[in-house]
Amino acid sequence: MKKIFILTGEPSGDRLASKVISSLKKINKDIEYLSVGGENLQSLGIKSIYNLKEITYLGFTNVILNLFKINKKINQTVKTIIDFNPDILFTVDSPDFTLRVAERIKKINSKIKTIHYVAPQVWVWREGRVKKIKKFIDHILLLFKFEKKYFERENISCEFVGHPLLQNKERSKIDINQIIGKNKALISIFAGSRKSEINTLTPILLDFIKLMNETYSDMTYVFHSTKDYSHLIQSFIGKSKLNNCEVVSDDKIKFHLLQRSIFSVAKSGTVSLEICNAKIPSIILYKMSFLNFLIVKILVKTKFANIINFAANEEIIPELLQTKCNAKNIFKNVSYFLDNPDKMDEQLRKIQSVLNELKINGSSSEHASLSINKFL
């Protein structure tokens, strides 16, 4: 029986990995799995060697402060992978964690094939990483077509497989009117998947909702959460005494709630693609410590945080970052769109044009799983 070790570093990676592995299980049932993963991989019956929450740190300073813990986890992970002796080490996103492990694995046992999914964003910062990656990664699965040139120029084996969040799948129907009143307008809120993000952004978002309540009636705000942190968001809502906020962690329900939404306010990240694919107008936001922001400003070479904006070279989706990320600014931007439906339509038209360039024919997860299967 062949073996694959799946290595993720945060909930979004766990989610992406689960889509690919779910597809791989359909074409090859003779594979044993072990992972560092979260609830999505575990739902496929794949054991994680420790809780994913133990390695999700936001920002440079948090990483530096937790270096000892991170190195300890890397050592533990490397030892477990070597003992498991997989045919493939399948690393997903989180390059500062997953690629450090992959590099050490390749030095110890060069026979283990290393396949990385979600290429490091070398077009954003640290383009020099490409030369180093070549030494220990056998194949890279790319989410976006424009990434190929960065890796092909160094003769790195790579393949454009598309982004699974841009797949349109058949979904079971759910009557969400039982959750949200039939006549209520719905706004979807995404405060992040890390504890530090939630702690930073949720208070700001709740202050924004208080401002909204002064102007707009009959609005319901749904916080999309992972199961691990739904209680944390709920505790913030409880303290705010707002009675028109809900927290939902079930993925099937979350999808239908997003589809029913008139607008979305989301933490910058992969979830923005899902919102765009659902054809929901949106803004994105992000806030980190001042020191982290200074480091990012020095290292990052693009002017946009959002992949849609980057691909279009235009701020189609407003980006409220750092000092702009406050309740008044969020309210100003959201109310502008709500009061000008033509601007929402214009945003969605521009987004659709970009998405048409980013999508791949067929299922992204199937493309990725077929590629992995070739290495077994």
101 and 181 part of one domain: no
User: How far out from the chain centre does Cα 184 lie?
Assistant: 28
Bridge pairing between strands 158-160 and 185-190? unpaired
148 and 286 part of one domain: no
205 and 340 part of one domain: yes
Threshold 0.75, pTM exceeds? yes
Examine residue 171 and state whether it is found in any structural domain, yes or no: no
Q: What is the pLDDT of residue 297?
A: 62
Q: Please name which of 223, 217, 205 lies closest in space to residue 327, comparing C-alpha atoms.
A: 205
Q: What is the pLDDT of residue 300?
A: 62
122 and 216 part of one domain: no
Examine residue 111 and state whether it is found in any structural domain, yes or no: yes
Return the DSSP state at 55. G
Q: What is the pLDDT of residue 57?
A: 55
Tokens of 30: 């003779």
| DSSP state string for 130-178 | HHHHTTT-SEEEESSGGGHHHHHTTT--EEE---GGG---------GGG
183 and 101 part of one domain: no
Tokens of 71: 């190195």
- Look at residue 58 and give its three-state secondary structure: coil
Helix%, strand%, coil% for the chain, nearest 5: 50, 15, 35
147 and 218 part of one domain: no
Examine residue 52 and state whether it is found in any structural domain, yes or no: yes
Distance CA 271, CA 83 (A): 35
302 and 212 part of one domain: yes
Domain of residue 150, CATH code = 3.40.50.2000
Examine residue 168 and state whether it is found in any structural domain, yes or no: no
Distance CA 365, CA 162 (A): 8
- Residue 54 belongs to what domain range? 2-162+360-374
25 and 141 part of one domain: yes
183 and 152 part of one domain: no
Bridge pairing between strands 113-117 and 319-321? unpaired
Q: Please name which of 227, 226, 248 lies closest in space to residue 237, comparing C-alpha atoms.
A: 248
Examine residue 125 and state whether it is found in any structural domain, yes or no: yes
157 and 185 part of one domain: no
Q: What is the pLDDT of residue 128?
A: 67
Q: What is the pLDDT of residue 124?
A: 45
**Number of structural domains, the chain?**
2
| DSSP state string for 244-302 | SEEEE--HHHHHHHHHH-SEEEEESSTHHHHHHHTT--EEEEE---HHHHHHHHHH---
Q: What is the pLDDT of residue 58?
A: 46
Examine residue 143 and state whether it is found in any structural domain, yes or no: yes
Tokens of 348: 């969605």
Tens-of-pLDDT digits for all 376 residues of the chain?
Answer: 999 999 999 888 999 999 999 999 999 999 999 999 999 999 999 999 999 888 775 444 455 556 677 788 999 999 999 999 999 999 999 888 999 999 999 999 999 999 999 988 755 445 667 788 989 999 999 998 888 988 898 899 999 999 888 876 656 666 677 666 667 899 999 999 889 899 999 999 999 999 999 999 889 999 999 998 999 999 999 999 999 999 999 888 998 999 999 999 999 988 999 999 999 999 999 998 766 666 666 556 678 889 899 889 999 999 999 999 999 999 999 999 999 999 999 999 999 999 988 888 889 999 999 999 999 9
330 and 196 part of one domain: yes
226 and 125 part of one domain: no
Examine residue 282 and state whether it is found in any structural domain, yes or no: yes
- Look at residue 112 and give its three-state secondary structure: coil
CB-side exposure of 84: number of CA atoms within 13 Å?
27
